[in-house]
Amino acid sequence: MSQHQPHRGDTRDIDELPTSVWLTAQQDSRTQRTGRYLPAAIAHPGKMLPAIARHAIRAYTRPGDVVLDPMCGIGTTLVEAAHLGRHGVGIELEPRWAVLARANLQHAHTQGAEGAGTVYRGDARDADRIVNPELHGTARLLLTSPPYGPSTHGHVRSSRDSGNPGVAKFHTDYGHTAGNLADAPTDELVDAFTEILRSSLPLLADDAIVAVTARPWRRRGELVDLPAAVLAAGRAAGLVPLERCVALLAAVRDGDLVARPSFFQQNNVRAARTNGVPLACIAHEDVLVMAVSTDGSHERARCSEAPHTPFAERCLRASR
């Protein structure tokens, strides 16, 4: 982790931040999840790669620390935190995924994971009101990912049926609860994500780190720079940029990259090249690392007994 010290008024562009590369796809996503997560987890269209979560948690926390994911989906952040002896607090809007996140946590505990965890169901823009005040001020790391563009959603199945040949798309649906940002325009997504970060501030410790994974994607051939938008949202929420990390979605074998692009990426790139546009497949996710501002402008509600009460006990009392 960079030793850069946060200061007010940090206006560096994304390309000016210290950069590191994470080897997070030496195994493909299916291999990383098989056995570690329940089979139903495959249905979520925008899962965080477990190795990315593990790397971030190891880099920015210590055993016993609390990790927050305000958009926790199937609970990848919480599961990986539990396996590493950290404790997790998650928020998930869609009831289906909240139930699955809790089930994945329970599955992790049956495999010997020692960290405790709790999942709240609700809109993360209300994180400070959703999460019990006993857990405020405890999280040393906020690790999350906003939903990506539709070109990265879901799975495909090819059909050899002569009557209906082609490709069928499935597992594309995040859900339809009011407030779901999966299909929101980029500007609306960034504004909402800023609200989520602001609302999460009371849950964070004074020296907390915020790490957000964001993959650039293409809309009608044009690159949507989601990482830069995430950085802007962080600044708007009062966070200070520290690092830009590159989490590889390709394996490194004998010095070469072995890319694992999705069907949607390959299809878009092939179509572009056919039309003379030299596009390449995206083989990484940006991880934007930020710090809570040190100017004291954000109040953090704390329960006086919280530092002296075991986290698991507080989770039991605070869970809904």
Render each residue's pLDDT in the chain as its tens digit; 320 residues: 443 344 444 667 777 888 999 999 999 999 999 999 999 998 877 789 999 999 999 999 999 999 999 999 999 999 999 999 999 999 999 999 999 999 999 999 999 999 999 999 999 999 999 999 999 999 999 999 987 645 445 555 555 555 555 555 544 456 566 666 666 677 788 899 999 999 999 999 999 999 999 987 666 666 778 899 899 999 999 999 999 999 999 999 998 989 887 777 787 788 888 888 887 888 899 999 999 865 544 443 333 333 344 555 555 444 44
Instruction: Specify the pTM.
Output: 0.81
Structure-block tokens of residue 294: 């040190």
Q: What's the CA dihedral at 214, 32, 19, 224 to 10 degrees? A: -20
Residue 88 to residue 107: CA distance in whole angstroms: 14
The predicted pLDDT at position 154 comes to 52
Question: Beta 256-259 vs 250-253: how paired, if at all?
Answer: antiparallel
**CATH superfamily label, 18-318:** Vaccinia Virus protein VP39 (3.40.50.150)
Contact between 12 and 140 under an 8 Å Cβ cutoff? The reply is: no
What residue spans of the chain are helical by DSSP H?
29-33, 50-60, 76-83, 95-110, 127-130, 186-200, 226-236, 263-274, 311-318
Name every residue whose Cβ is closer than 8 Å to that of residue 32 and which is 6 or more positions away in sequence.
49, 50, 51
